[in-house]
Amino acid sequence: MKAMPKVSSYIILVTLCFSFGYSQGFLHTDGQSIVNGNGEEVILRGMGLGGWMLQEGYMMQSNAFASSQHELKIKIEMLVGTENMENFYNTWLQNHCQKVDVDSLATWGFNSIRLPMHYNLFTLPIEEEPIAGENTWLDKGFELTDSLLSWCASNEMYLILDLHAAPGGQGYESAISDYDPSKPSLWESAANRSKMVALWYKLAEHYSNEPWIGGYDLLNETNWHLPGNVMLKQLYQDITTVIRAVDNNHIIYIEGNWFANDFNGLIPPWDNNMVYSFHKYWSYNDQSSIQWMLDMRQTHNIPIWCGESGENSNVWFTDAITLLENNDIGWAWWPLKKIESIAGPLSITKTEGYQTLLNYWQGSGNQPTEEFGANALMELAEMAKLENCRYQKDVIDAMFRQVNSDEAKPFINHQIPGTIQAVDYDLGRNGISYSDIDVANYSVSTGEYTAWNTGFSYRNDGVDIEVSSDNDASFYNIGWIQTGEWVTYTVEVSKTDSFEVMLNVASQNGSGQLRLNVNGLAVIPIIDIPETGGWQVWTSMDAGKIFLNKGSNIFEWKCLNSGFNLSELTFTATSEVIDGSFYLNQNFPNPFRSKTKIEYYITEYDNTKLDLYNLLGQKVDNLVDKPLEAGPHEFVFDGSHLGSGIYYYRLKSGNGTKIKKMMLVK
């Protein structure tokens, strides 16, 4: 590290800052658009690397006793010592973001990254400076950022620098900015503000000629009482001045006060290559929720950017991104990974050792040894590598494919005969691959928090999933199932056949009912779920037989009455049908109200008869009576002229005869 001159020694250069134009090879603004070097509009689709350079307490599951990074560091240092603490943080920084993370983001569809920076990786806190009023620069932050930029450049992705933790901290919400109330904040210390200005000068000087730097997000989510935002604007303008002294190439992104959305006093813009950045969380995804920003864009002829959003359900993600892109607004989601979370692309596995540390810090359990604590922390740092994280493809599917498609897609390759884990339902929007009543948190709009996934496990849809205690079934089960909810599975059937269906269920009250459908049609009567003795007391029950044709089929279960949990569905072939043999399928739907389809197969050209009988054995209708070619056939029966009841239909062709039962309900 080395000492640098005071800000005042180079600020005189600012008189030259507007005498040259930005290079057309850089991302820049053009009226209300962000464009690339060819003048083509760019919709930024980004991901924020939260938790890497700055650990927020909720991401580390330490919020109960250490909401900010400096508080967590104190806990760690007291337990394992300074050297072990520093080893952990160095390893965390090395593992949490690597080239494979950036390569993966590019493969998934992202074209940009927003980097939340902690100032203390780039410069010392004011109270630690060896010479008061001067700035000591640290190599660590620049080296990490340089590596990240090289990985972005190799993928042709833009890197937007975001000062997430400013000197002293910029908000009362300490987790976000690592604010320490025992020390002067950014707004209570001119020295801290001077250091922040100097830091941005140093960053701009370092990256001024880097075309894959997408710009500078000057200050994340200020949340401080600043009347008229006068002090915030002055700081922004001071930073703009020193940046433009060395760098007129890059966009400057300006966030409002109070978590980015209060622009009082910050308009009109004061730079010709500037973007206003807002953040959107937990609100309705309708036009009115962003109209205030659209009005600002129109009035001041300046681009706008949703610099941070996320922390919600897949439904909310799809709807929010659709809304933003329909209005030509780029976005950056939050975050890429955190410990044991379903609401991001990657989840860091929480180890047993780290849970032991959390328990101790929260006041339960004996104090672990220094060796145990150091090993537990290093194991957690190892889990931060992408290859050790759980990839949550449902989140990526919701953010990209579902924005442009209303079709379902298999979550995994289901083969029948075989067992389907209930939680492995198809990827797709609510109402397409599943239907759930509570699908997102809209608490900013409604004033009331709603859990979209009560179990908060495995997937980020509205379907409620929990860790299962059933050792004989899946590790997860679907629970809190409400009347009218349903899920679908795309299944590949190896051969046309009848299949016995077994359901692994748990019920405390025995009131549950469901129905099974194939390709949109009911295939068996209503299934009553028995009481099993508790919500995690599991039993396997016979759900009856269904007929499936070879190839791709859509299998669905629908809750007709709540009161059960479901973990597995097992399909066993009865071998009643062999490809090319004479067979008669179960009609579907069944029961039916008026019309139902009957499929059958005859092995040779012959006169074929399909007749309908009542329970007394009396023929009530002749459905088919004619010579037919060998092969598959179908008949749609209209029973509107008959009364409700149970009927039998008989197929006779050559020497073969088959009989099935159907139910007409009116």
Q: Which tens digit of pLDDT belongs to each residue from 79-99?
A: 999 999 999 999 999 999 999
CA distances for 77 relative to 62, 294, 355, angstroms: 15, 48, 17
Torsion of CA 244, 250, 256, 260, to 10 degrees: -150
Local structure of 86: helix, strand or coil? helix
Backbone phi and psi for residue 409, each to the nearest 5 degrees, phi listed first: -145, 140
pLDDT for position 554? 96
Residue pair 534/469 in contact (Cβ under 8 Å)? The answer is no
**Helices 370-383, 82-96: inter-axial angle, 10-degree rounding:** 10
- 125-131: Cβ within 8 A, 24+ apart: 125/167, 126/167, 126/168, 126/189, 126/191, 126/192, 126/195, 127/183, 130/3, 131/3
Percent of the chain scoring above 70 in pLDDT = 95
CA distances (Å), 651 to each of 41, 599, 617, 648, in order?
65, 10, 15, 10
Cα–Cα distance measured from residue 13 to residue 26, given in angstroms and rounded to the nearest whole number: 23
Q: Is the peptide bond before 627 cis (omega within 30 degrees of 0)?
A: no
Report the pLDDT value the prediction gives residue 6, as an integer from 0 to 100.
39
DSSP assignment letter at 592: B
Tokens of 397: 């599917």
Ranges 153-157, 182-186, 642-646: which has the least confidence:
642-646
Write down the pLDDT at residue 17: 36
User: Which class for 327: exposed (0-12), middle (13-18), buried (19 or more C-beta within 10 A)?
Assistant: middle
Residue 581 has pLDDT above 80, yes or no: no
Tally of CB atoms within 10 A around 524: 21
pLDDT of residue 576: 59
Rounded average pLDDT over 437-459: 96
Which residue bears the tokens 């629970």? 479
In this predicted structure, the answer to whether residue 7 has a pLDDT above a threshold of 80 is no
Q: Both ends of the chain: CA-CA distance in Å?
A: 84
- Tell whether the model's pLDDT for residue 35 goes beyond 50: yes
What distance in Å separates the CA atoms of residue 594 and residue 55, rounded to the nearest whole number?
A: 62
* Rg, C-alpha atoms of the chain: 31
**Bigger pLDDT: 6 vs 165:** 165
pLDDT in tens, 206-239: 999 999 999 999 999 999 999 999 999 999 999 9
Give 174's contacts (C-beta < 8 A, 6+ positions apart).
Answer: 67, 68, 71, 180, 181
- Is the pLDDT at 145 greater than 60? The verdict is yes
Q: What is the pLDDT of residues 466-481, one digit of tens each?
A: 999 876 556 899 999 9
CB-neighbour burial class of residue 502 (10 A; exposed 0-12, middle 13-18, buried 19+): middle
**Higher model confidence: residue 12 or residue 132?**
132
What is the CB-side half-sphere exposure of residue 614 using CA atoms within 13 A?
A: 8
Question: Which of the two residues, 426 and 647, has the higher pLDDT score?
Answer: 426
The answer to whether residue 422 scores a pLDDT higher than 50 is: yes
Distance (Å, rounded) from C-alpha 499 to C-alpha 576? 9
pLDDT tens for 253-279 read: 999 999 999 999 999 999 999 999 999
Q: Band of the pLDDT at 574, cuts 50, 70, 90?
A: confident
Least confident of 236-245, 438-447, 543-552: 543-552
Beta bridge partners of 660: 649
- Between 391 and 600, the more confident residue is 391
Kindly state the tokens that stand for 246: 């060395």
- In this prediction, residues 506-530 reach a mean pLDDT of 92
H or E element that contains 514: strand 513-518
Q: Which domains does the chain have, with CATH numbers?
A: 2-51+101-347 (3.20.20.80), 53-96+350-388 (no CATH), 405-573 (2.60.120.260), 583-664 (2.60.40.1930)
**Residue of 610 and 365 predicted with greater confidence:** 610
The three-state secondary structure class of 415 is strand
d(CA 312, CA 190): 38
pLDDT number for residue 618: 85
Q: Which two tokens stand for residue 616?
A: 């007394």
Output the CA–CA distances (angstroms, integers) from residue 90 to 52, 154, 156, 161, 521, in the order listed: 11, 25, 28, 21, 58
Q: How does the average pLDDT of the chain come out, rounded?
A: 93
